[in-house]
Amino acid sequence: MQALQTAFDLRNKKQNKIEKVKILKTPKEALESLEKYAVEGYDSIPDEDKNYFLKCFGIYDKDSLTPKQFMMRVRVPGGQLNQDQALVLGHCAREYGNDYLDITTRMQVELRYLDIENIPTIIEKLHSVGITAYQTGVDNFRNILNDPLDDLGFDNILPSQPLLLKLQEKFLFNHDWISVLPRKFNTSITGSMSNRSNAFGQDCCFVLAQKNGMYGYNLFLGGKVGKIAQNANLFCKDENEVEKLYASLIILFRDFGFRDNRNKNRLHFLIEAVGMNALTSALREHSGINFATAGETMTKLDFTDPDQGKVMLRDRSFAMHVVVPSGVFKGSDLLDAAKASAKYGNGELRFSVEQSLYIMGVKSENLDAILEENIFQNYKNLHSIYHNHLIACAGTEHCTYGVIPNKPDAINMADYLEKTVPMEDGRLRMYWSACVKGCGIHGMGDIGFEGCKAKVDGVNGYGVHISLGGKLTSYGVEGYSVVKGAPLQVAHLYVETLAREYKKHRELEESFEDFHDRILHQYSHAAIGFIMMLQAYLRDKNIDLDIGFEKRVKSGKIEHFEIFDLGRKMYYKLTGNEAYSSVEMFRPLGSVALDPLSKTHPDVDGQLSEIIHKMINPKETQRAEAFSELQDSILLYNLK
């Protein structure tokens, strides 16, 4: 415990501006003023309430985007909605929020275009069916994630929703816990073998494990955007231990979490300062339980349900998938889904972290009939591989942090790829975040997109950083960057290269993740990005040159080896001749000369000729050593 106190003392000599706002009043005072604000109007709301205190209850001022209106984030524990809750949410969106509804990556929903005079009524209606917007913003406990197939999926070992609700009871509606944390706190719990809930990407993660023949939960801590949670080497053998550990953890974070720099005050930074062993020692001390060391983590599998359109449940009924690209939904759509569920299912809907939903309990004899319902006239249960796992958070239209529109960008790219590189099957997860904050969990995607500014013709416009290699399987893996600052008008052409290569090399039932590990993993990050751009250039110029990724490479991810090897292959395919008669360790042997292709083969594209000569120049001092030296020559746009 002393280590936590020492770290706290070192980091809390100053407090950030939000901590200073918190002392102006209590969140409860702002909540009690809602009725008054509803009567007196938007202009009566003080700035501190619009900027902070109302967010404690999920009420976000959106005046800069939709004048004098609000967004409300509604907590849906574990993503599970019953019939009454779905109907109330759908009606609230339709009656008060322009029929707009966003499904988020925290398995909850957001209502938009709300006027202050209607917000008390909306809250009352939500509470009447047991859902709320409380504590879904700022320094509070956010919606707890769970497997959407909890208790019903064949791979679910420990049903966890009742335990999730017990954890939620510790803070929800409890004014002693509203706005007392140093920063937001994300939690996940799963008792399943498949990771359907981004289980390792949260501050606190309880994950299915086995130890000494017993099932329980391993603890992982410190996840956030850009960081996978670390194994805390601690095993909870039953629900009682989970509850007591969680109670101790949130107290320790409240009391010792940093309150100086808001960019460095998530739980991750406390662990970074004191070490995981010091924190778990404090947890044992505070809880009075000598928790066992970690067992074998059992949540290791990818989930394929969206690729089937439906999934059989333990009772032999089905969860029918509804693909909602980028989570852009309507209140009337939710009403349609609820109607279909009441008619053919068990009345329950469940949201997923991929911003889609399941209609639960559909009998086998009704599988065809339910597809005739209104919800499936607007949405598919099985879409293309580019849409089935598509995520995009709110962009510039709805979020002041957004750098790009995002949702339409994600859908446009998926539509383009479906048309240009159609694939009957496969699995590809494209995750989009509109800014560096990463609400679209882009780092976990097979292909991730982070919104940024990109310069074209000297003018800043919309762009994306493109990453690869994110994983939900095993303990989860954060992706790595391959292309920086690609303008949106060409980004789809770069990703088209990856789609074409996946289609060309794909083995039977191989996911993009497995394709990445088998093929792309052999290349340096820079080489992957360059080949993505090179193929786009060749297609744009109608140059018939089959150059791409190969099943086996020997360049060892060493850039100057990769450059020389790729240049030789392009030279040979364009001329039918080897550039050099003898090569050793990716360099020509002896004293040799090589004329540029522009001289020997003037019909070859001039830019391509110049690039190849730089790649295989006989003079080592004039040979490119990094792909960054070459890529400006194959851009499909002008920087200046």
Q: Are both 165 and 282 inside the same structural domain? A: yes
Q: Let me know whether 83 and 200 are in one domain.
A: no
Select from 269, 297, 325 the last residue of a domain.
297
- CB count within 10 Å of CB 247 equals 15
Block residue for tokens 């990445």? 516
- CATH code, domain carrying 89: 3.90.480.20
Q: Classify residue 582: in a domain, yes or no.
A: yes
> Does a structural domain hold residue 46?
no
Q: How far is CA 80 from the centre of its chain?
A: 20
Q: DSSP readout, 58-114? A: TEEE-TTTSTT-EEEEEB-GGGEE-HHHHHHHHHHHHHHSTTEEEE-TTS-EEEEEE
Question: What are the pLDDT digits (tens) for 142-197?
Answer: 999 999 999 999 999 999 999 999 999 999 999 999 999 999 999 999 999 999 99
Residue at a domain's end among 341, 365, 382: 382
Q: Quick one: the chain helix, strand, coil %, rounded to 5?
A: 40, 20, 40
364 and 246 in a single domain? The answer is no
Q: Would you call 280 helix, strand, or coil by DSSP? A: helix
Buried b (16+ CB within 10 A) or exposed e, 593-605: ebeebbeeeeebb
Same domain, 397 and 482: yes
C-alpha 183/C-alpha 263 separation (Å) is 9
Q: Is residue 266 part of a domain?
A: yes
Q: Tell whether 182 and 279 lie within a shared domain.
A: yes
| Residue-level pLDDT at 637 | 85
Does residue 337 have a pLDDT over 70?
yes
Residue 154 maps to a domain: no
Would you say residue 7 lies in a domain? no
pTM above 0.75, yes or no: yes
**Residue 241 domain flag:** yes
CATH code, domain with 169 = 3.30.413.10
Taking only Cα atoms into account, the Rg of the chain, rounded to an integer number of angstroms, comes to: 27
Of 382, 410, 432, at which residue does a domain stop? 382
Domain coverage including residue 81: 59-133+313-382
Alpha-carbon span 577 to 555, nearest angstrom: 21
Per-residue pLDDT, 640: 66
Q: What is the pLDDT of residue 585?
A: 87
Same-domain check for residues 378 and 454: no
Whether 87 and 177 share a structural domain: no
- Are 437 and 504 in a shared domain? yes
Same domain, 111 and 232: no
* 407 and 440 part of one domain: yes
pLDDT in tens, 352-371: 999 999 999 999 999 999 99
Whether 504 and 624 share a structural domain: no
User: Does any domain span residue 424?
Assistant: yes
Residues 411 and 483 in one domain: yes
What whole-number percentage of the chain has pLDDT above 90? 93
Name the residue with tokens 């039977």. 508
Decide if 548 is inside a domain: yes
Our count of domains for the chain comes to: 4
